[in-house]
Structure 1
Amino acid sequence: MHIDVFNGDADGIFSLIQLRKVKPIAATEQLLISGVKRDISLVQQVTTEQATNASITVLDISFDKNNTALEQVLAVADEVFYCDHHQATRLFQHPKLTAVIDTAPTVCTALLVNQYLKNAQPLWAVAAAFGDGLDKPAKALASQLGLSSEQQVQLKQLGMLVNYNGYGASKADLHFAPAALYQQLMTYDSPFAVIADAQSPFAALNAGYDADLAKARSCKPLSDNTAVLAVQLDNAPWAARISGSYGNILAAENPAKAVVVVTSNADDSLTISLRAPKNNPYGAADICSQFATGGGREGAAGINSLDRSELDVFLGLVAAKYV
């Protein structure tokens, strides 16, 4: 049995597509474990029975958030391949573990997988990088591949849409469950084939994205100064879906500012998306990790559940970091 554990956003899905295009696994031998983008403690969903004698791949989820569960599955699994770009301060070595970890703000998991596969399926990596808000690395790889400006725009749109689909409080908020979206996209030879097919998930995601973005644009900022732009979205499924994409858009529009997008949870806590300034893409994970459910990477991070009473404290930390 092969178990594929992956983040439900563009980076996680396109990373797995690259791997399975090059190293195919029969559907009958493949167990998929994924969730909404913020569901990052996914390795703990692998049971001891499932892990026994299994080959396991883990993509685009923080090593720090999964290291305890990883130690448990390594005790019984045949091997584990782990590739990620989030915080990994608890990284360890194990004879059964192959870890490709790079936390630099200029990489995402799909770019790391592309390097690992020696450029075997690079178009998916370009789309993933765009979806993760890494326009410069995405354009650099696209230029190496000789892609036209129009092709780059198409891959960016696909990446943004698949990334957008990963956000939600639960899978019920999403247009497509991540595992199902992966399975559908795997049937296409390339990202351009997905875009060209009117019956693919691309069209449905595009319509949903446009509607949700229009609602986000109508929300007034919590604060907007030289260092930080903070926006609070309504308490609704559309807000959870668009929060990450909107954060990326605002960050691109305001490269000198940190961007904070706040959404409400059912228990009255807050979900936080933080984008470090494009001109200074460091420190986001350090800020969010100071809170119990926070984490991420240098350029972008978040908090799954922040008490409302702590919002001013959080915004103060962001302002102090990027002033």
Structure 2
Amino acid sequence: MLQGLPVERFDVCNGDADGLCAVRQWRLHDPSAARLITGLKRDIALLQRVPSTGASEVLVCDLSMQRNRAALDRLLDSGAHVRWFDHHWSGDVPVHEGLQAHLDFSSTVCTSLLMDRHLGGRYRAWALVGAYGDELTAVADQLGAASGLDTLHRALLRRLGLAINYNAYGEDPSDVCIAPADLYERLARHASPWTLLRDEPVIHDIEACRRRDFRVAMSVKPHWDSAQARVLVLPAAPWSRRVSGFLANALAAVHPAQAQAVATERRDGGFSVSVRAPRASPFGAHALCQRFGGSGRSAAAGIDALPANALETFVHALSQARWDATC
């Protein structure tokens, strides 16, 4: 009870593998009923959907505090208690008795791993699904091996993480196989990822969709290509909105010395852009995207709405960017 009133609980998270798996870990730890607020990959400003009831507990996972600061201040002022787990740049973190902030901006962590750290590794398999989905493959492999998982079982968790993550990309729910909130309901039926993989055919549907989309995407010629950077421009279509992040990651893995940008035409004009720093020098993507109103992490960031007339300016900035090998 808070302030003599029944406590309302809210789980607010990004709808990708990292966000959903972080919440899944917490609700295995604390199975209290909570209202889930989530969305597609670029639905960042989600905290504004939480009402200022005062007697509330709010769990926030994998969302930029900087992008949600006004809503956070409102909730804290109303008396809410907020737990925040995230690895994106936060800006200034408020000092408030109602806020517990678990933040780490290292390129080797994600929100699911922060939750895993906080809970002492009790739900390690779910944490690994989130880490694999967030493309922290080497980190997840090392942690999985140390936890006694063989190559096959680590590969299964990676498969699940990539599928959940792929399902988060789109401009609206009609673009994806299943709305992230509905996908979380499927996750919440299972204590472990192993039964989820066995019993939920939607995972196989997502994988089949990804393979089809990727084949189409690989036929697109680069808009810009040099030793330093590559830019692909995709047309406005459901497949292109789904594949953008996966395509950027795949190109970054194949070309570790080259920065990658996938610009996808939006329905309303302009572009959404997925940016990946070179794997060999994985620091600087967030700084570049911030110049164009975007955000993200040092290795992987994005721009939600790049004006059409700013595309060439962005291409030039990417081609001239200097990437850091150390943070």
The one of 131, 134, 141 aligned to 2:133 = 131
Between stretches 274-283 and 313-322, larger displacement belongs to 313-322
Tell me the equivalent position of 1:42: 46
Tell me the equivalent position of 1:55: 57
Unaligned runs of 5+ in 2: 1-7
**Aligned partners of 2:231 and 2:263 also within 8 Å:** yes
TM-score, normalising length from structure 1?
Answer: 0.95
**Aligned partners of 2:283 and 2:299 also within 8 Å:** yes
RMSD: 1.3
Percent of residue pairs identical: 36
Tell me the equivalent position of 2:314: 314
- Within 2, Cα distance between the matches of 1:145 and 1:222? 44
Partner amino acid, structure 2, of 1:278:
R
Deviations 1:61-80 (A, max 9, x none): 10100111100011224410
Tell me the equivalent position of 1:5: 12
1:124 Cα deviation (Å)?
1.1
Number of residue pairs the alignment of both structures matches = 316
Q: How does 1:1-323 map to 2 (within 5 A)?
A: 1-26=8-33, 30-49=34-53, 52-197=54-199, 199-292=200-293, 294-322=294-322
**Aligned partners of 1:123 and 1:190 also within 8 Å:** yes
- Within 2, Cα distance between the matches of 1:298 and 1:120? 29
1:234 Cα deviation (Å)?
2.2
- Within 1, Cα distance between the matches of 2:68 and 2:75? 11
Partner amino acid, structure 2, of 1:267:
D
Partner amino acid, structure 2, of 1:48:
S
**Aligned partners of 2:224 and 2:315 also within 8 Å:** no
- Within 1, Cα distance between the matches of 2:106 and 2:59? 21
Unaligned runs of 5+ in 1: none
User: Closer, same or farther in 2 for the Cα pair 1:79/1:207, shift >3 Å?
Assistant: same
Runs of 4+ in 1 over 3 A off after TM superposition: none
- Within 2, Cα distance between the matches of 1:215 and 1:42? 32
1:90 Cα deviation (Å)?
2.2
Indicate the SS of the match to 1:75. Answer: helix
- Within 2, Cα distance between the matches of 1:77 and 1:147? 43
